[in-house]
Amino acid sequence: MPALPEPVNAFLQQHFPGKTVAMVETDSEYAGVEFEVTLNDGTEVNFRPNNDWDKVECRASAVPAALVPATIAKYVKANFQAVPIVKIDREAFGYDIELGNGVELKFNPNGQFMGYDD
């Protein structure tokens, strides 16, 4: 298994305490190496070449609240009360969010709701 950069390890320890890395895949890009990390509970976390997280997809729990911008968390709580966010993906246009009920939402970089994803 490839060694993870220290910022990636620190992120995983901070946001997923008690979880262990089950698998690491790498993808070499022009800007460097991307890491796709799978934890022992099935959670997948993708990292960009600069070691920033790109996507978090949880199988057994909600995405850690610290990773969800406050405006997005507020919108989801107001409109989908008890439904957890199980996936967050940072894109060039903003954020793709998937809820535990399968609904997919799009938000701009400021966290404003843009619409549903098909």
* Segments making up each domain of the chain, as ranges: 1-59, 62-118
1-59 matches 62-118 in fold: yes
User: What fold does the segment set 62-118 form as a domain?
Assistant: Inhibitor of vertebrate lysozyme, Ivy (3.40.1420)
- For the stretch 45-77, pLDDT in tens is 999 999 999 999 998 899 999 999 999 999 999
Q: For the whole model, what pTM was predicted?
A: 0.93
1-59: CATH number: 3.40.1420.30
Low-confidence ranges of the chain (pLDDT < 50): none
Distance CA 56, CA 47 (A): 9
Contact indicator for 98, 85 with CB cutoff of 8 Å = yes
pLDDT above 70 as % of the chain: 99
Strand partners, 105: 97, 116
